[in-house]
Chains A and B, each alone.
Chain A
């Protein structure tokens, strides 16, 4: 055996202990601080011999995220038992394997409670801890909420993703309690959008001024569609274009969750494309949703199941095109001019699973009727059909069963 080969074999399984990198970094910073303090002290003492300088200790290097070392705030900030319990629960939760969304390699600082609050069932605490992650070379922060004796939720915030930190925690037996981090901005919250006689929506907002490590606690029923916004000001009542905070509830919990709406998937067209379409009507449902939200015609979409995963497009007789979609169990549409700019909204009423979707279009452009995998109209067009203006009923054949749909 070669000597080098033997040495390599002898050391092949060696690796540094967990936390080693953090220990080195912390120790290095401490040593440098001590060195600076010593130099400062020597200089100050030399100068002080003639000028009476006061020697002061320099501060430790600041961590990347101040929450990792910030003193606790809130009503239980001085409750050492509570803080210790929160830290214990936080550390205890790390005995479970990290989730796929938590790319943590190692924790590199002790947990720190930086905020406490009073919730319905008792105190809650926000905890932050510096960690090393495998998708970033820079230190990251593991931040989360401890409530009801458990870590409700955690979030890994890296230097690259800190602008996208959600900082929204939903908890409680009914899932109706929220803690929202201010992150230095004004946090506003609202529930129950109200639609006026003109079809436009409005919301009233409450707000809390932002401070660096503050948080807001509130209670709201899911059915009231609570919306949280973090920004420089409080949204106006008809402002539905703000970026709502999307918590972990925005995504389905579990590998597969059937959509509670009509349940269709994909995009279909109710007409054939013209020989030379001036522009593609597009399947860009998010853009269509934003067009309606800009006009206060569609509410904030803050959960994975608030909008459907299907759409139907159609080229219209007057050269415009339309896109139909489902949100909050109702049918919506947007009409676009040939150049692709917004032209008009359309409303279709309730979206009912197992029934064809019907969207009357304005300006005598007909009615979009859709039933995925069915055959519609006199020509038996598959999936969707644009019924010409004046059409009173449409025959739909679904799985061999023919039904007649009355049009408005």
Chain B
């Protein structure tokens, strides 16, 4: 299991970032689901070690969705809105960064997962569909609506994507 431990040691930070976004900025929850996913991978390692990262990201997306489901659709606690400084500088970048997490937190979990997998983890529409167990059409529509919603939520801060 040395290679599994290596994987955990080397990739946990990157996976935590995905989990953090999937959880809408809740770091504690992100660590919890990441630890849960990785512990579950331990016994499956021989089967999944050819593409552990893809497995982990899919499991994180599903765990994040299930987590909210288990919480009885309780509304997620949004991060406290900060005051936007007048001048754009380093502080503005921080605000932008926080803003995107706050905006993500307000999206439905499936829509959020689509955006995180597509734009943060760089998965294709087909890969995203496979990970989330839905059709490519659903991914396309969720992406389109999600981006539009992000624009609304982030107000004057214009986000672009490629």
In the complex with contacts A4-B119, A10-B98, A24-B35, A137-B17 CB distance below 8 A:
no
Whole-angstrom distance between the Cβ of B88 and the nearest chain A Cβ: 10
Q: A15 — which chain B residues lie within 8 A by C-beta? A: 13, 16
Size of the B side of the interface (Cβ < 8 Å), in residues, is 45
**Is A2 located at the chain interface by the 8 A CB criterion?**
yes
B5, B6, B39: the one within 8 Å of A27 (CB): B39
- Residue pair A16, B16 in contact (C-beta under 8 Å): yes
Q: B5 — which chain A residues lie within 8 A by C-beta? A: 21, 25, 137-139
Q: Can you sample 20 A-B contacts with CB below 8 Å?
A: A2-B159, A2-B161, A3-B119, A3-B150, A4-B120, A6-B100, A9-B96, A9-B97, A10-B25, A10-B98, A10-B100, A11-B16, A11-B17, A14-B16, A24-B8, A24-B35, A24-B39, A27-B39, A137-B9, A139-B5
**Is A250 located at the chain interface by the 8 A CB criterion?**
no
- Residue pair A28, B119 in contact (C-beta under 8 Å): no
What residue in chain A is nearest B122 (Cβ atoms)?
A4
Q: What is the bound-complex CA distance between A24 and B27, given in angstroms?
A: 17
- Residue pair A6, B96 in contact (C-beta under 8 Å): yes
Query: Which residues of B approach A to under 8 Å, CB–CB?
Result: 1-2, 4-6, 8-9, 12-13, 16-17, 20-21, 25, 27, 31, 34-35, 38-43, 93-94, 96-101, 115-116, 119-120, 122, 147, 150, 157-162
Q: What is the bound-complex CA distance between A11 and B147, given in angstroms?
A: 19
Q: B122 — which chain A residues lie within 8 A by C-beta? A: 4
Binary per-residue interface labels of chain A (15-36) against chain B in the complex, 1 for a CB within 8 Å, 0 otherwise: 1110011011101110110010
Residue from the set A11, A14, A23, A132 with the largest chain B CB neighbour count within 10 Å: A11
Q: A139 — which chain B residues lie within 8 A by C-beta? A: 5
Q: A14 — which chain B residues lie within 8 A by C-beta? A: 13, 16-17, 20, 27
Q: Is the interface of A mostly helix, strand, loop or mixed?
A: helix
Contacts A11-B16, A20-B31, A31-B40 supplied; 15 other A-B pairs, CB < 8 Å: A1-B96, A3-B160, A3-B161, A4-B122, A6-B97, A7-B120, A8-B120, A9-B94, A10-B97, A17-B31, A24-B12, A24-B39, A28-B38, A29-B42, A137-B6
Q: A9 — which chain B residues lie within 8 A by C-beta? A: 93-94, 96-97
Q: A7 — which chain B residues lie within 8 A by C-beta? A: 21, 100, 116, 119-120
Q: B41 — which chain A residues lie within 8 A by C-beta? A: 28
Within 8 A of B (CB), among A80-115: none
What residue in chain B is nearest A36 (Cβ atoms)?
B43
Q: What is the bound-complex CA distance between A9 and B93, given in angstroms?
A: 8
Q: What is the bound-complex CA distance between A200 and B53, given in angstroms?
A: 66
**The 7 nearest A-B residue pairs measured at CB:** A28-B42, A11-B17, A9-B97, A10-B97, A6-B100, A27-B39, A3-B161
Whole-angstrom distance between the Cβ of A172 and the nearest chain B Cβ: 39
Q: B96 — which chain A residues lie within 8 A by C-beta? A: 1, 6, 9
What residue in chain A is nearest B21 (Cβ atoms)?
A7
Binary per-residue interface labels of chain A (125-166) against chain B in the complex, 1 for a CB within 8 Å, 0 otherwise: 000000010000111000000000000000000000000000
Q: What is the bound-complex CA distance between A299 and B161, given in angstroms?
A: 75
What residue in chain A is nearest B159 (Cβ atoms)?
A3
Q: What is the bound-complex CA distance between A102 and B12, given in angstroms?
A: 24
Q: What is the bound-complex CA distance between A4 and B100, given in angstroms?
A: 10
Q: B25 — which chain A residues lie within 8 A by C-beta? A: 10
- Residue pair B12, A21 in contact (C-beta under 8 Å): yes
- Residue pair A32, B43 in contact (C-beta under 8 Å): yes
A2, A31, A132: the one within 8 Å of B39 (CB): A31
What residue in chain B is nearest A4 (Cβ atoms)?
B119
Q: What is the bound-complex CA distance between A9 and B120, given in angstroms?
A: 11
What residue in chain B is nearest A28 (Cβ atoms)?
B42
